[in-house]
Amino acid sequence: MRILKAFLVLALLSGSAAAVSAGYTPDFDRGVDVKQAIQAALEAAASAGGLLPELPGRQQEAGPVWVSMEKSDVGGLDGALFKAAPAAQNKRIVIYEFDADRVAELAAGMHRAYYRAPGFFAHDTLESALEDLKAPRPVPARAYAIDQAARVKELLPLVKEAPIVSAIASLSAFKNRGSRYATGVDASKWLQKEWAKLASGRPDVSVAPFKHAAFPQESVVLTLRGATEPDNVVVIGGHIDCVAGYGDTLAPGADDNASGASVTQEVARALIEGGYRPAKTIKFIGFAAEEAGLRGSADIAAAFRKDGVKVEGMLNLDMVNYKGSAKDIYFVTDNTSPDQNAFLGKLIDTYTEYTWGSFKCGYGCSDHASWTKNGYPASMAFESTFEQYNPSIHKPVDTLAQTGGRAEHAFKFARLGVAYAVELAK
């Protein structure tokens, strides 16, 4: 399987199976024929007997997990999911103990009933879950200024579609990036190696895994250290795991969320290529275990708060490559920072020709919620309105082929990401 994967990636990057050779490095500046590359990868996979000759074993998680969710969501779910009375509750939020193995069933139920994923937080301990019953930590108000036009306009042309396509294709070639799958661990390791390549030759850029106690998949963190205010941190990220129902299924997760992780990478790649040295530190994060209850981002945001890290802002990219609505970019208005959302809208108006809108996403909607509840200004940029998002997600058909092998829509988010990074990390 590893040979197949390596072959796939090489075939994809080289644009032709015949050109595969060890040590090949794609040169995006000289151009990669995206359509040809995708076709070659698909043909290589087919000739090797298909993408999924066998399915990976799941690592069992020992012990219980505590889930916090909105009470109003419980009624629409199959009662059989809940084996016992709530462990705790307040007027709005309820906490249940779950067998760790059954959290995926809850996630699938939430997706079926409300089209939300996951829509809850999963916690390693009851103590951590009880925190969700408290009033959320206030997000301090802050002013935003847009005054880096020269730098942004210099860096924006460096953003390219081809590297985004390549990263989505590679990530979605893993059979299932679930946080407890061997292939989910492999995908994280693969991303760490890719990001380490970006860091080479830049002593101010480093890559490290963020390890989680409760599951084997690691989050991936690329740090672009700030030149003058390194303790102030801007976070851009998207989850790397994926899901397709529950059980041992093929889950390419191209749009949800290889797209957001790949855009995160492209923002970093473009800034590094442009020799950009921010005043503040920028952390690019591929979050583990979002689909399992926002567990990766919750661990990281809580660790940042515990360590007193000053987070200037967080931009979450979760599903960005399917244009389902009239406008280009949509922002989630609940569990996010209204000020930062307005700032992002202004960035779009100032630096791009794109249009934008907004919608509500609900409790525990994606990784931005982990940052908001820790008192950090967070936003979520999304591909469409809530009603019109990609119908293929959480299914084996969430492939790059669904967007014609292109990342035209995701490309817009990468340009927004560059503007956001430069105007916030100044």
Please identify every residue annotated as catalytic: 239, 256, 290-291, 318, 394
The one segment of 27-35, 165-173, 318-326, 356-364 that binds Zn ion by CB under 5 A:
318-326
Interface with Zn ion, residue 241, by CB under 5 A: no
Interface with Zn ion, residue 61, by CB under 5 A: no
The one segment of 25-33, 70-78, 212-220, 254-262 that binds Zn ion by CB under 5 A:
254-262
Do 381 and 361 touch, CB atoms closer than 8 A? no
> Angle CA(211)–CA(62)–CA(83) in degrees, nearest 5?
125
Which residue, 153, 379, 31, 418, is CA-closest to 263? 418
- 312 vs 367, which CB is nearer to Zn ion? 367
Residue 43 C-beta: closest distance to Zn ion, Å: 29
Beta strands in 212-338 (DSSP E): 219-224, 229-239, 280-287, 310-317, 329-332
- 280 vs 368, which CB is nearer to Zn ion? 368
Residue 301 C-beta: closest distance to Zn ion, Å: 17
Do 156 and 351 touch, CB atoms closer than 8 A? yes
Interface with Zn ion, residue 370, by CB under 5 A: no
| Alpha carbon distance 330, 205 (integer Å) | 31
Residue 275 C-beta: closest distance to Zn ion, Å: 32
Residue 66 C-beta: closest distance to Zn ion, Å: 22
Residue 203 C-beta: closest distance to Zn ion, Å: 34
Residue 243 C-beta: closest distance to Zn ion, Å: 9
Q: Which of 14, 148, 179, 257 binds Zn ion (CB under 5 A)?
A: 257
Question: In b/e form, how buried is each residue of 340-368, taking b as 16+ CB within 10 angstroms?
Answer: bbebbbebbeebbeeebebbebbbbbbbb
Do 262 and 167 touch, CB atoms closer than 8 A? yes
**Which two three-digit tokens encode residue 233?**
């941190």
Q: Which of 105, 124, 241, 256 binds Zn ion (CB under 5 A)?
A: 256
The one segment of 98-106, 250-258, 264-272, 321-329 that binds Zn ion by CB under 5 A:
250-258
The one segment of 16-24, 218-226, 257-265, 371-379 that binds Zn ion by CB under 5 A:
257-265
Do 385 and 358 touch, CB atoms closer than 8 A? no
Interface with Zn ion, residue 318, by CB under 5 A: yes
Determine the size of the site formed for Zn ion (CB under 5 A): 3
| Beta-strand relationship, 219-224 and 205-210 | antiparallel
Residue 291 C-beta: closest distance to Zn ion, Å: 7
| Alpha carbon distance 286, 284 (integer Å) | 7
- 10 vs 314, which CB is nearer to Zn ion? 314
| Alpha carbon distance 378, 316 (integer Å) | 7
- 132 vs 318, which CB is nearer to Zn ion? 318
The one segment of 156-164, 212-220, 310-318, 334-342 that binds Zn ion by CB under 5 A:
310-318
x/- binding map, residues 269-298, to Zn ion, per CB under 5 A? ------------------------------
Which DSSP string do the residues of 360-414 spell out, in sequence order?
---TT-STHHHHHHTT--EEEEESS-GGGS-TTTTSTT-SGGGGTT--HHHHHHH
DSSP three-state, residue 165:
helix
Binding site for Zn ion (CB under 5 A): 256-257, 318
